[in-house]
Amino acid sequence: MAKYILKRIGYMIITLWVVATITFVLINAIPGDPISASAGKVLDKKVAAEIMKKYKLDQPEYVRYGTYISDLVHGDMGMSIHYPGQKVNDIIAKEFPVSLRLALQAVTIGIVFGIVLGIIAAFKRNTWVDYTVIFIALIGVCVPGFVLAILLQYGLGAKFGLKIAGWSAKSLFDIYRYSLLPSIALAMAGLASNARFMRTSVLEVINQDYVLTAKSKGVGKVSLVWKHIIRNAILPVVTMIGPRIAYVITGSLVVESIFSVPGLGRELVSAISNRDYTVVMSLTVFFAFLYIVSLLIVDIVYVLVDPRIKLTQRKG
């Protein structure tokens, strides 16, 4: 296991380096540069040249690339150009917890409610309960998260006067109050597909011999579900957690903008339109890092959940 993890970490470092390089090439290829992008008006050529010098943007690309990579290796993610003096490490330190909270809440809501709904639907197959769950799943998959987000805002915020827009970290209550709707918006797609997968999976498992055996032995309903059915049926859901996290990370770009949540997704979007090279590159590398780490964690969890699965081939 340890050797496996080390190998994966090695691959991760190589992947991150490739991501950083490709992002560097791409962002430098887009027309425009951070100086003219930030300026409300087009700057005098000479003034623009001075500002470029100030931010060392007048150096040739390979020099800038080299500086960036060596800084990155030392853990220094650089400084924002659009917000002079703002260190990217500080941006991440301040805003990542916000995005992380939303992501974890969204994934958790998606998993918990998805599994519960899936199980109920499977047990009450072909009844109105089942159809309702399928309907919810349909909504969750077809309606984009941000549309749901806006509908929720209007529906709950305006009508019931719930304070839901904006962000405040003053108290635990405040934090949950403001993160509730964005998390739900992000969770819906996951909840929907988890419910569908779970339903199918449970239906398969219910018909297995060992379940019949357990039932005939008199095992209680709850115990049956918990000990026997879930652990076997949950595999498809666990498989999907990896891509689910990626979806939530990228979906957060839109949801955060709509709910004015000060997270990394919103930061990345504005950095791109500001052509803030350092922020774009560092945040992209960071997102790649998050994604790869979560895949690794998911793979390990996989093995723990189902001992039948082996991560590596055994010889002989």
Partner 1 sequence: MKSKKIVSAVIVALVLSVALVGCSSKSGDSASTTKSTNTKLDADQTANILGYDYTSLDPAVDSDMESFTTLTNVDEGLMREVSKDGKTISVLAGADKMTTNADHTVYTFHIRASKWSDGKAVRAQDYVYGWQRLANPKVSQDYLGFLNEMGVKGATDTGVAKPEDLGVKAVDDNTFQVTLKAPSAYFESTLNFKGLVPQREDIVKKLGDQYGQDFKGMVYNGPFIVSDHVKSAKVVYTKNDKYWDAANVKLKTVNAMIIDEPATYNKMFDAQELDMIIGTTDYLAPLQKKATAGDISYFKGYDPSVYYYIFNNKTKALSNAKVRQALSLAYDRQVQINTVFKKHYVAEGLIPNKIMLGKVEYRTAVPEPLKTLKDDPKKLLAEGLKELGLSSDPSKITLKLLMAKATSLTTAQAQFIQAQYKKNLGINVSITYSVDSPSYFKDRTNGQFDICAGGWGADYNDVISFFNLFTSTNGNNNGKYNNPAYDALIAKGKTELDATKRLEIFKQAEELLIVKDAAVSPYYYRQVDSFTQNYLKGMYVPLFGGYFDLKTAYISGK
Query: Which residues contribute to the site for partner 1 (CB under 8 A)?
Result: 30-33, 36-47, 50-51, 53-54, 79, 82-86, 91, 94-95, 128, 131, 135, 139, 150-151, 153-155, 157-159, 161, 163, 165-169, 257-260, 262, 266-267, 270, 273, 275
Cβ closer to partner 1: 191 or 258? Answer: 258
Nearer to partner 1, 144 or 157 (CB): 157
Judged by beta carbon, residue 79 or residue 211, the one nearer partner 1 is: 79
Smallest distance from the beta carbon of 80 to partner 1, in angstroms?
9
Q: Least distance (Å) from partner 1 to the CB of residue 289? A: 21
Q: What's the closest the beta carbon of residue 132 comes to partner 1, in angstroms?
A: 8
Return the number of the residue (156 or 238) whose C-beta is nearest partner 1. 156
Least distance (Å) between residue 282 CB and partner 1: 15
CA 307 to chain centre: 27
**Cβ-based nearer residue to partner 1, 41 or 221:** 41
Whole-number Å distance between alpha carbons of 77 and 88: 6
Q: What is the smallest separation between the CB atom of 5 and partner 1, expressed in angstroms?
A: 35
Q: How many CB atoms lie within 10 A of CB 187?
A: 29
Q: What is the 3-state secondary structure (H, E, C) of the chain?
A: CHHHHHHHHHHHHHHHHHHHHHHHHHHHHCCCCHHHHHCCCCCCHHHHHHHHHHCCCCCCHHHHHHHHHHHHHCCCCCECCCCCCCEHHHHHHHHHHHHHHHHHHHHHHHHHHHHHHHHHHHHCCCCHHHHHHHHHHHHHHHCCHHHHHHHHHHHHHHHHCCCCCCCCCCCHHHHHHHHHHHHHHHHHHHHHHHHHHHHHHHHHHHCCHHHHHHHHHCCCHHHHHHHHHHHHHCHHHHHHHHHHHHHHHHHHHHHHHHHCCCCHHHHHHHHHHCCCHHHHHHHHHHHHHHHHHHHHHHHHHHHHHCCCCCCCCCCC
Nearest distance, CB of residue 83 and partner 1, angstroms: 5
When the beta carbons of 91 and 107 are compared against partner 1, the nearer one is: 91
Q: How far is the CB of 135 from partner 1 (least distance, A)?
A: 5
Q: Which is nearer to partner 1, 229 or 277 (CB)?
A: 277
